Amino acid sequence: MPSVAPASPLTAARGQLPYLAMVAPLVVFVVLTVILPVALFLFRAVDNRELQANLAATSAALSGWTAEQGLPPEPAFAALVRDLAAAQAAGHAGTLAARLNQAVPGSRTFILKTARLAAEGALTGPDVRSAVLAAAKGWQNPALWSVIAQERGRFTAFYLLTSLDLQRHPDGSIGAVPAEQALFLSILWRTIAISLSVTAICALLALPVAHVIVAAPRWAAAGLLALVLLPLWTSLLVRTVAWIILLQGEGPINSTLQGLGLITEPLRLVYTRGSLVVTMVQVLLPLMILPIVSVLRRIPPTYMRAARSLGAPWWTAWRRVQLPMLLPGLLTGSGIVFVFALGYYITPTLIGGPGDQMLSSFIVFYTDKTLNWGLAAALSVQLLAVLALAAGAVAAVRALASRRVA
C-alpha cells in the first residue's frame, strides 16, 4: 500500500515510539488489574504465613520430635500456649485455627478455645501439657503436631498436594489421600474431557455452517449470523431452564418420542453429561463459527474450483486445499471455545449430573464459602497449566501446518 503512508524520516525504532506510547496505557492497565492481582492470588497456593508467623516458637520446640515418639514433651506445649496467646492478642487466632483445620478437619473449635484460654492466662502452672489436654483433648492427635512440625517454612506444598489428591504423612512421606477424599484429579480430567468434547463438537458443527454463511447471498448471510449469535444474547438462566423443560421426562422431546411409539419409558435426558454438553455447545458455537467465517471469506472460491477441475474429488480438494487455509480460523475458534469451556461452572451445576461438576465450581466454593484461598489458588494453578498446555498445542499445530504448506 504505497499510497497510504509517506516514507517516514524517522528511523524504524523511533517510528515505533508513538505506537509504544499508544499501547503503554493498555499494558499498564493489564499489568495492574490482571497480571498483578492474579499473581498475588496464585502466590497463596504456596503461602504459609499463618503457620510460620504464628507458631514459630512451637515449631522450634518441636525440632527433633517425630510422630512415632507419641505426644510432644512439655516445652512444646508451653511454647504452643505462648504462641496461641500471642495470636489471640493480635487477632490472628481465627485464621490460624482455620489454617490448621484445613489440614486436620474438626480441629478449629478446640484450637480457638485453647487460644482463648491461653490469652486469659488459664493454661499455666508446672504441667502445661496436662492443662492443655484437659481443656482440649484434640491436642492428643499426633497428626496435628506433625503438621505444625512439618509446616515451619515460609512456603508450603500443602495446597498443591491437596489439589493433586496427595498428602504428607506424619513420617514426612508423600502419598495418596484415602479413596473417599480423592476428588480433584478426577474433577480435573473431567473438566478437560468436557471442554475437549465441547470444542470438537463445536468445530464439527461450525464448519458446514460457516461454509453456508459464506456461500449465501449477503442478506441471507446477515440473517444466519444473527441466528448464530442469538444464544449469546440470551440470559444464561433462561437458556438453561429452557433446556431443562425441553429435555425433562414429561418434556416435548420425550412426549414426541413416546407419541411416535419409538420409546415406552421416558429417556433420561436432563441432568446428564449429554445435556450439559448440548447446552455448552449451544452458547459457545458462535465463538467457533465467527473466526472460521472471517477466514473463509478471504479464501477465493476459485481455489476449490481449480482443484476440482484438476480431477480431485470434493473431499480431497477440501482437505488438501481448503482446510489448510482455514486452519488458522479453526485453531483460533477452538482455542477460544476451549478456554471458555474450561471456566464453566454455573451451567454444569444447573443442568449437569452429579458427575459433571467442573473445576471452577470448586474454586468458587473454596474462595467464597470457606475462605480457603490457598486451595482455590492451587486449583487455579491447575487451570492455568491446562491453558498453557492448550496454547502450546495450538502453537504446535500451527507450526506443523505452516511447515507442511511451505
Partner 1 sequence: MRLSRLLCTIALAGAASGAQAEGTVTIVGWGGSWNDVYKIGVTDPFTAQTGTAVTLDEWDGSLAKIRAMNESGSVSYDVVSVEAPQLDIGCDEGLFEKLPEAVAAEADNYLPGTFHPCGIASDTWATVLVYDAAKLADGPKSWADFWDVEKFPGKRGMLGQAMYTLENALLADGVPPAEVYNVLRTPEGVDRAFAKLDEIKPNVVWWTSSSTAVQNLDAGEVVMTDMYNGRITFENENNGKNYGIAWEAGFFYGTDMWALVANAPNADAGRAFLEFFALPENQAGFPRLYGYGTGDKRVYDLLTPEQRDRLPTSPSRIGFGAPYDSAFWAENQESLEQRFKTWQSQ
Q: Which of 52, 66, 71, 95 binds partner 1 (CB under 8 A)?
A: 95
- Which residue, among 45, 58, 50, has the nearest Cα to 100 in the 3D structure? 50
Amino acid at 363: I
- Which residue, among 326, 333, 327, has the nearest Cα to 301 in the 3D structure? 326
Q: Which of 57, 98, 196, 216 binds partner 1 (CB under 8 A)?
A: 98
Asked if 66 interacts with partner 1 (CB under 8 A), we say no
Sign of CA dihedral 218, 220, 222, 225: negative
Contact present, 231 and 239 (Cβ < 8 Å): yes
Give how far the C-alpha of residue 396 lies from the chain's centroid of Cα atoms, to the nearest Å. Answer: 23
Q: How far is the CB of 240 from partner 1 (least distance, A)?
A: 8
Instruction: Indicate the burial class of 308 (C-beta count within 10 angstroms; 0-12, 13-18, 19 or more).
Output: middle
Q: Looking at beta carbons only, is 234 or 316 nearer to partner 1?
A: 234
Contact present, 245 and 350 (Cβ < 8 Å): no
**Which three cell numbers, joined as nine digits, stand for 36?**
498483578
Chain positions 370 to 389 lying near partner 1, rule: CB under 8 A, are: 370-373
Asked if 97 interacts with partner 1 (CB under 8 A), we say yes
How many positions of this chain bind partner 1 (CB under 8 A)?
A: 47
Asked if 272 interacts with partner 1 (CB under 8 A), we say no
Q: How far is the CB of 351 from partner 1 (least distance, A)?
A: 8
Q: What are phi and psi of 155, to 5 degrees?
A: -115, 155
Question: What does the per-residue mask of binding to partner 1 show for 125-164, with x meaning CB under 8 A?
Answer: ----------------------------------------
Chain positions 246 to 265 lying near partner 1, rule: CB under 8 A, are: 248-251
DSSP 358: -
Amino acid at 403: R
Q: Looking at beta carbons only, is 280 or 350 nearer to partner 1?
A: 350
Torsion of CA 293, 294, 296, 299, to 10 degrees: 160
Question: What does the per-residue mask of binding to partner 1 show for 180-199, with x meaning CB under 8 A?
Answer: xxxx--xx------------
Q: How far is the CB of 172 from partner 1 (least distance, A)?
A: 22
Q: How far is the CB of 367 from partner 1 (least distance, A)?
A: 5
Q: Looking at beta carbons only, is 18 or 105 nearer to partner 1?
A: 105
Residue matched to cell numbers 515451619: 152
Chain positions 304 to 363 lying near partner 1, rule: CB under 8 A, are: 349-350, 353-355, 357, 362
DSSP 166: E
Contact present, 392 and 352 (Cβ < 8 Å): no
Asked if 274 interacts with partner 1 (CB under 8 A), we say no
Q: Which residues form the interface with partner 1 (CB under 8 A)? A: 91, 93-95, 97-98, 101-102, 105-109, 112, 179-183, 186-187, 237, 241, 244-245, 248-251, 270-271, 349-350, 353-355, 357, 362, 365-373
